[in-house]
Amino acid sequence: MVRRVNRHEDEVVRRQRERARLMAWLLGAFVVLLFLITIAKIGLNR
Amino acid sequence: MTTTTITATLPADWRDLLALTKPRVMSLVVFTGLCGMLVAPVVPPLVLGFTAILSIALGAGAAGALNQWYEADLDAKMRRTANRPLPAGRMDRQTALHFGVGLAAFSVILMDLAANHLAALLLAASILFYVFVYTVWLKRRTPHNIVIGGAAGAFPPLIGWVAATGEFAPLPLILFAIIFLWTPPHFWALSLFVRSDYAAAKVPMLPVTAGIAATRRQIFLYSLPMAVAAIAPWPLGLAGPLYGATAAALSAAFLVMAGLVLANPATEPSQMRPEKRLFGFSVIYLFALFAALVGDRWFGA
């Protein structure tokens, strides 16, 4: 039973890390996208 | 402690979050939205066009997630959907709700940033229509659920066009009408051979409430105005002969297949080959029709 709970906790940590890493990548991509949108909008208004 | 309880208490896997967005439905939405943008007289800068299409994809994903959040009980009763993340117990409902609402808000804000207020408004309207009008209001109440609810899936080419131009025009409205009229024959063909699933879940799809023969008649009847709408851009001068010829050939094939469905007397799903063929072809039909429109706009005479 103890081993089973440990395995469960390991899986929780693994999934949390995986999601945190994915979220970091997505946020990074969003920042780059916002930057590119700004540049393109400035170009349109010129 | 059971395995299900352990699974449900785990944080959702990103693959299940992705499955919540119905990626296959999203591909058709993205494609028709992209075509709506590509046939517009104004082509936006690449990054703005890309972001607008991304917003449409995220909006469709949000609508799919909220649909699965609301319909988890129905999905559990149908073989076709029982393995989705919520009915299979791989995710709790609150995660799906937060994910869907967050994604919907994000997609609308992103569209507003990249395109214009009207495109963002249309995207918000399409998400709200799919969730509240189709999923919450119509689906469990009336066999017309697909007829009216189909409007939600018809928005993407209109949004794509408006994202590029900032205004409405006859052509994107016809594209809206094509998808609106295409949805009932497409879904009713599917619902004929998964009728027992809908009956088990007590979803009032047409084959369950009106019977198989009536559904076959309706498939054929809806295919007629759909074919007219599909060909209409050509005689109206909104598309060239390349599109006109392709639309006429594709629509003729669609009508022949709908006719074969009408003539099929079978009541067992195993004998419903014409229905399965029409369902498969209907997806190709829409892809090919929109691709022909883009081809005509960019490479036509």
ipTM of the complex: 0.80
Q: How far apart are CA A2 and CA A4, in angstroms?
A: 5
Q: How far apart are CA B222 and CA B258, in angstroms?
A: 10
pLDDT < 50 regions, chain B: 1-6
pLDDT tier at A15, thresholds 50, 70, 90:
confident
Is residue A37 over pLDDT 80?
A: yes
Q: How far apart are CA B214 and CA A35, in angstroms?
A: 55
In angstroms, the Cα distances linking B36 to B161, B215, B289 are 5, 31, 12
Interchain CB contact of A18 with B (< 8 Å): yes
* Both structure tokens of B159: 């949004």
Q: How far apart are CA B203 and CA B266, in angstroms?
A: 22
Q: Is residue B85 helix, strand or coil?
A: coil
User: Across the interface, do B48 and A18 touch by the CB < 8 Å criterion?
Assistant: no
Query: Given this model, what pLDDT does residue A7 score?
Result: 78
Interchain CB contact of B5 with A (< 8 Å): no
User: Across the interface, do B13 and A15 touch by the CB < 8 Å criterion?
Assistant: yes
In angstroms, the Cα distances linking B163 to A14, A30, B84, B89, B115 are 40, 19, 33, 38, 5
Query: Given this model, what pLDDT does residue B119 score?
Result: 98
Interchain CB contact of A8 with B (< 8 Å): yes
> What is the pTM (predicted TM-score) of this model?
0.90
Query: Given this model, what pLDDT does residue B290 score?
Result: 98
- In contact, B184 and B222? CB cutoff 8 Å: yes
Chain B residues touching residue A33 (CB < 8 angstroms): 47, 51
User: Across the interface, do B47 and A8 touch by the CB < 8 Å criterion?
Assistant: no
Query: Given this model, what pLDDT does residue B12 score?
Result: 81
Interchain CB contact of A19 with B (< 8 Å): yes
- In contact, B182 and B226? CB cutoff 8 Å: yes
Q: Is residue B103 helix, strand or coil?
A: helix
DSSP per-residue letters across B157-176? HHHHHHHHHSS--HHHHHHH
Interchain CB contact of A13 with B (< 8 Å): no
- In contact, B123 and B59? CB cutoff 8 Å: yes
Q: Is residue B87 helix, strand or coil?
A: coil
Query: Given this model, what pLDDT does residue B300 score?
Result: 80
The interface residues of chain B toward chain A in range 90-129, judged by CB-CB distance below 8 A, are 113-114
Sheet strands (E) in B38-184: none
pLDDT tier at A9, thresholds 50, 70, 90:
confident
Chain B residues touching residue A8 (CB < 8 angstroms): 6, 9-10
Is residue A40 over pLDDT 50?
A: yes
